[in-house]
Chains A and B, each alone.
Chain A
Amino acid sequence: MSGELYEVISAVGETIIGNRQMLTDLDAAIGDGDHGINMARGFEAVKAKLQTLETESDIGKVLKTVGMTLISSVGGAAGPLYGTAFLRAAVPSQGKTELDVETIGLMLEAAIAGIKERGKATTGEKTMLDALVPAYEAFQDGAKTGKSVIECLELACEAAQQGVEFTKTIIATKGRASYLGERSRGHQDPGATSSYIMLKALLEHLRRQ
């Protein structure tokens, strides 16, 4: 696997592992307090798996492995959802060794479609989609006006962050937090937060390049 690809995924993984406690605390408030634990376990598994892919340069193949690894190590709601997202993102990136704006847009689109299919949720239900869908839309707006990958990702991150803030204002109708009904309002969704920090980790890594 090319050094850069390895580093991007490591950077995203390390961010999740580093935010294990924060994500877990958010989930303790409206769920069952395991989101950070689950995601960190998943990315620890990804880290171990990446070692075996050192010579792989096909981004799609690597993302597929990441997806499969998450599915078999995360569990809970986030495992199938993020796992499916990575598997789907692997399709438009198959055979690619570098990513352009158009491909990343297709990857985000495919990932979101996968999450929607698996979880039968839509935006406004206080889930990861409330970060990812606005992020995708902002990314595409940037793409349409000819912005660079980093510029588009900046827009996406900003939108994802606003999406995370938005989750505080709504009640959950999907996932474990939906059992709380009205009592879920005022709390930030852990899954939307993990989506945002993954996007942000990606952006920050690319900025450093």
Chain B
Amino acid sequence: MKKVINVPEQVVEEMLQGMVLAHSQYVKRVDGFEVLVRAKKPGAGKVALVSGGGSGHEPSHAGFVGRGMLDGAVAGAVFTSPTPDQVYEAVKAVDNGKGVLLIIKNYSGDVMNFEMAIEMANADGITVDKVIVNDDVAVENSTWTIGRRGIAGTVLVHKIAGAKAEAGAELEEVKRIADKVIHNVRSMGMALDSCTVPAAGKPSFVLEENEIEIGMGIHGEPGTHREVLRTADEITDHLVDKILADMPLAVGQEVAVLINGLGATPLMELYIVNRKVAALLKEKGLHIAKTYVGNYMTSLEMAGFSISILKLDSELKELLLAPADTPALVQF
């Protein structure tokens, strides 16, 4: 294992300290917890948004704490859901009396830990609701499984629900919007190479020199299949196909696109992918209203990327284009 770390046990703690030092105008630490909240708590009358998950997905989620997006983020151990007491602290710290919405990625562990936190907060009389993001089309969504995983599309939920909350909407409304994004966003990724969880000390999986994994999850969960490396255009073609097969879009439909790097993919390659995505969507008569290219939901130093496509209507579009001011996303 070759990493710029001190000791594996301290990576999350030391990262959080560094983040706060770098972005003190945006975030501060809830003392004694792996929780970052906005440096300046918004005045009363704003629904608060909290997200979180395992660490290793930076800038998710703490990088999106700030005006127009999240109010708080909880950092678990690397790739491991945070515990209920941590989520509970975040909820208590951000609550403004108008309720708190938890944005959870769909993994059994995350759902259970966050649900326990909701029970704890409810016992305190804090109103807490949740949405569960499940945008990854790589894995089956049948009634007998736990459903799809949540991946990069989560960032679009932060953005849009965050804008709605910032506009002063009630908890119910913010939840409705978040669910609407979830309903209309689909993602799929691929990996060129593995990553190493610091505490594990060795790669989560091994790919041969010329091998890629299609549908790889952001914690290194296996995808749909492995194949021989192809060109960027061919891989992109396949992923877009899978996404649109799951969410057929009519000619003239407006969409937003997120090309997300998994940690070790040069921006150069992400732009090459984006070029192809734009061409494919244009061919299908779709209009791209907004494109994000960059590292939004990483997987440590995994090489690879994911594509997310969000179907827009006027409501979602307006909220997506609304301003945001956070460490990892600034939009005017």
Contacts and interface: CB of A to CB of B under 8 A. Distances in A.
Interface of A: 24, 28, 30-34, 37-38, 41, 71-81, 118-119, 173-176, 178-181, 183
A73 B221 contact: no
A32 B220 contact: yes
Contacts of B54: 75
B204 A33 contact: yes
Given A71-B84, A81-B112, A178-B145, 5 more contacts: A32-B220, A34-B80, A38-B80, A71-B116, A76-B113
A76 B144 CA distance: 21
Contacts of A77: 81, 107-109, 112
| 5 A-B pairs with least C-beta separation | A77-B109, A32-B219, A76-B109, A80-B112, A75-B80
Contacts of B5: none
Given A32-B220, A32-B221, A34-B80, A80 B113 contact: yes
Contacts of A38: 77, 80
B149 interface: yes
Contacts of B145: 173-174, 178-179, 181
Contacts of A178: 145-146
Main secondary structure of the interface of A (DSSP, over half): helix
21 contacts: A24-B200, A32-B217, A32-B221, A33-B200, A34-B77, A34-B79, A34-B199, A34-B219, A72-B83, A72-B84, A75-B54, A75-B76, A75-B80, A76-B80, A77-B81, A78-B109, A118-B116, A119-B112, A176-B109, A179-B222, A180-B222
B299 to A, nearest CB: 10
B205 interface: yes
A89 B10 CA distance: 33
Nearest to A178: B145
Contacts of A72: 83-86
Interface string B56-87: 00000000000000000000111111111110
The range of chain B's interface size is 20 to 34
Contact of B221 (A79, A118, A179): A179
A76 B199 CA distance: 15
A175 B197 contact: no
B116 A75 contact: no
A31 B112 contact: no
A75 B146 contact: no
Given A37-B200, A173-B144, A179-B217, A75 B108 contact: no
A77 B108 CA distance: 6
Contacts of B77: 34, 37-38, 41, 75
B140 interface: yes
Contacts of A176: 107-109, 219, 221
Contacts of B220: 28, 32-33
Given A33-B197, A38-B80, A174 B146 contact: yes
B205 A28 contact: yes
A75 B113 contact: yes
Contacts of A73: 83
Contacts of B293: none
Contact of B81 (A30, A76, A119): A76
Nearest to B53: A75
A37 B199 CA distance: 7
A71 B112 CA distance: 11
A168 to B, nearest CB: 17
Nearest to A36: B200
A38 B213 CA distance: 26
B139 interface: yes
A75 B107 contact: no
A130 to B, nearest CB: 15
Which of A24, A28, A34, A77 counts the most B-chain CB atoms under 10 A from its CB?
A: A34
A30 B204 CA distance: 11
Contacts of A37: 77, 80, 197, 199-200
Given A33-B200, A37-B197, A71 B144 contact: no
Given A75-B109, A176-B107, A178-B145, A31 B221 contact: yes
Contacts of B221: 31-32, 176, 179-180
Contacts of B144: 173
Which of B83, B113, B144 counts the most A-chain CB atoms under 10 A from its CB?
A: B83
A32 B105 CA distance: 15
Interface in B204-223: 204-205, 217, 219-222
Contacts of B76: 75
Contacts of B139: 179, 181
